């Protein structure tokens, strides 16, 4: 999931081109990932996306400075590989508890880390959306990378700050813990964020970890939404 940087030129193009690079990564990788270095593969996809943005900026000066956040999960056996840049987030619901798996790359989060302000103050800080890291035309990507063990019953949320600017962890936990399918929960999160003022783009993905029978067809149709589905993004 990629959220184009607000206030910058053509953030929707940056996010669409980034999603396109990851969609091609998914199509390129073999079904059995075996001993592949997934951190290297995801970093390569981010570098590919950066190169696409830079080429586009070279062709169209109006798009110079465009950028996007990125959160991505790649399934491999009983683990997920994670890549993260910016202030979009990944959460995991497990056994009734909610954990944030990403750390915001924002000026305000840096102030919290340094003990200069509290997390409560950060939630209402006027500069809470100022990014310290993003995927952009200006420099090589600097992602946080991780591997996460998964168990049946885990539920994951990938979302933009348009969700978390309105809904706190208690609200997210309440919605994610509901006995509903992922599509229903996504729509509920969008509705609640809009009811709370909808101050920014609102994007959410909810995915459940389920055990499939050995004979089950494990292929899935690729679903692309938002700007990535609406904008043609040449390499």
pLDDT of residue 151: 95
pLDDT of residue 138: 81
Which of 116-120, 138-142, 180-184 has the largest mean confidence? 180-184
pTM of the model: 0.91
pLDDT tens digits, one per residue of 133-164:
999 988 899 999 999 999 999 999 999 999 99
Choice among 10-19, 57-66, 134-143, 209-218 with the minimum mean pLDDT = 209-218
pLDDT of residue 31: 73
Whether the CB-CB separation of 33 and 78 falls below 8 Å is answered with no
Binned at pLDDT 50, 70 and 90, residue 98 comes out as very high
pLDDT of residue 218: 57
pLDDT of residue 6: 59
Residue predicted with more confidence, 7 or 160: 160
The C-alpha torsion from 39 through 31 and 76 to 169, rounded to 10°, is 90
Whether the CB-CB separation of 161 and 86 falls below 8 Å is answered with no
pLDDT of residue 78: 85
pLDDT of residue 235: 53
**Both tokens assigned to 112:** 């919290």
- Burial zone of 220 (CB within 10 Å; 0-12 exposed, 13-18 middle, 19+ buried): exposed
For residue 163, which of 125, 189, 134 has the smallest C-alpha distance? 189
pLDDT tens digits, one per residue of 200-228:
789 999 999 998 777 666 566 778 887 77
For residue 85, which of 144, 19, 41, 38 has the smallest C-alpha distance? 144
- Listed in order, strand segments (DSSP E) in the chain are 67-68, 70-76, 79-85, 89-94, 97-100, 135-136, 144-149, 155-159, 204-208
Binned at pLDDT 50, 70 and 90, residue 61 comes out as confident
Binned at pLDDT 50, 70 and 90, residue 7 comes out as low
21-50 mean pLDDT: 87
């Amino acid at each position: 999931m990629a959220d184009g940087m607000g206030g910058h030129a053509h953030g929707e193009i940056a996010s669409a081109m980034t999603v396109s690079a990851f969609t091609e990564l998914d199509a390129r990788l073999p079904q059995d990932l075996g001993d592949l270095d997934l951190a290297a593969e995801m970093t390569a996809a981010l570098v590919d996306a950066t190169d696409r943005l830079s080429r586009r900026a070279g062709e169209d000066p109006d798009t110079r400075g465009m950028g996007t956040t990125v959160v991505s999960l790649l399934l491999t056996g009983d683990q997920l590989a994670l890549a993260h840049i910016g202030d979009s987030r990944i959460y995991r619901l497990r056994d009734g508890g909610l954990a944030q798996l990403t750390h915001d790359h924002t000026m305000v989060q840096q102030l919290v880390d340094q003990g200069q302000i509290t997390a409560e103050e950060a939630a209402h800080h006027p500069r809470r959306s100022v990014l310290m890291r993003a995927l952009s035309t200006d420099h090589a990507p600097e992602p946080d990378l991780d591997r996460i063990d998964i168990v049946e019953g885990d539920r994951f949320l990938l979302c933009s700050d348009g969700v978390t600017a309105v809904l706190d962890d208690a609200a997210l936990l309440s919605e994610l813990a509901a006995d509903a399918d992922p599509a229903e929960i996504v729509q509920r999160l969008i509705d609640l964020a809009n009811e709370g003022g909808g101050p920014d783009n609102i994007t959410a993905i909810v995915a459940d970890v389920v055990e499939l029978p050995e004979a089950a067809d494990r292929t899935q149709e690729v679903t692309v939404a938002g700007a990535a589905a609406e904008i043609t993004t040449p390499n």
